[in-house]
Structure 1
């Protein structure tokens, strides 16, 4: 499976000490140069820098684009450089999935036919594979780390992970 990652999944997995889930879930991860710059050159002192540097050449590779992201392929909203390069690289290498969280980028990637795996979905997959015991704990940690996860999305994540307690039914059986 060919997977291209944006910076946010890398940043949050490193912050929660879960970076090593990536090769267990997907094997090799590709990132474009803009993402590498965000997580290595522009992230001194953050856990993601050391995590990415340790993974490079093993199960993570930085792949240069053969063409610049075309403005004609971008959605109405503006994508950041990393998101635009993730989608462009995914197109160039024929990726099966992209790891990305930004809503506009998610919608655009889906419109191009890519499977989108947001950070929280990584944890759902990890739980289903027996790599972690609880998604709720990870979702709570993500929220404490300032990951944007609305109450509705939080509930949906727990439901998808089978960790949402359903309220008892009221009324006659």
Structure 2
């Protein structure tokens, strides 16, 4: 399975010591250079730096179509733009990202995508998280914002597919 990630899920899961969920669920994660640089090189002293740089299962890959990246940067940051272009280039099964504008672009590009909250829902479904509400609370306490609607949607998905 090919999974490309933007920086937000990597940082958010690192903040709550759950980055390894990505390895357990997806085996490996592919990140474009801009995402790797944003998390590891530009993030000095912040959550995710050590976790991502030490994770041998996170693979850094170069984007080929820099023109497409430049076009997307009109509305998105470089990491989001590279993640979307790379997902398209390698035929990713999923793109992990959280920002609304990037979600819209991914959806319009017909790229399946999932956010941090959805990843946690999937982890709970697989029995990797004992209490999803506690994990959501931990995420919120560490500065990650999401609506009650998103929380309910993920929990409903979990209940209907159990």
Name the TM-score, length of structure 2 as normaliser. 0.91
Higher mean alpha-carbon deviation, 9-18 vs 77-86, is at: 77-86
Query: Over the residues paired in the alignment, what is the CA RMSD in angstroms?
Result: 1.9
Change (3 A) 1:99 1:69: farther
More helix per residue: 2
- The corresponding residue for 1:165 is none
| Residue-by-residue CA offset, 1:128-169 (whole Å, 9 max, x unaligned) | 11111121111111111121212222232333333xxxxxxx
1:138 aligns with 2:149: no
1:85 aligns with 2:82: yes
- The corresponding residue for 2:57 is 59
Conserved? CA contact 1:11–1:39, under 8 Å = yes
What's the offset of the Cα at 1:19? 0.8
Higher mean alpha-carbon deviation, 36-45 vs 150-159, is at: 150-159
Q: How does 1:2-81 map to 2 (within 5 A)?
A: 2-55=2-55, 58-70=56-68, 74=72, 78-81=75-78
Bigger-Rg structure (1/2): 1
CA distance in 1, matches of 2:23, 2:3: 10
CA distance in 2, matches of 1:44, 1:71: 25
Count of equivalent residues? 160
Q: Where in structure 1 are there 5+ consecutive unaligned residues? A: 163-173
Q: Where in structure 2 are there 5+ consecutive unaligned residues? A: none
| Residue-by-residue CA offset, 1:17-73 (whole Å, 9 max, x unaligned) | 001111111111000011011101111112300001111xx2111001112152686
- The corresponding residue for 2:113 is 116
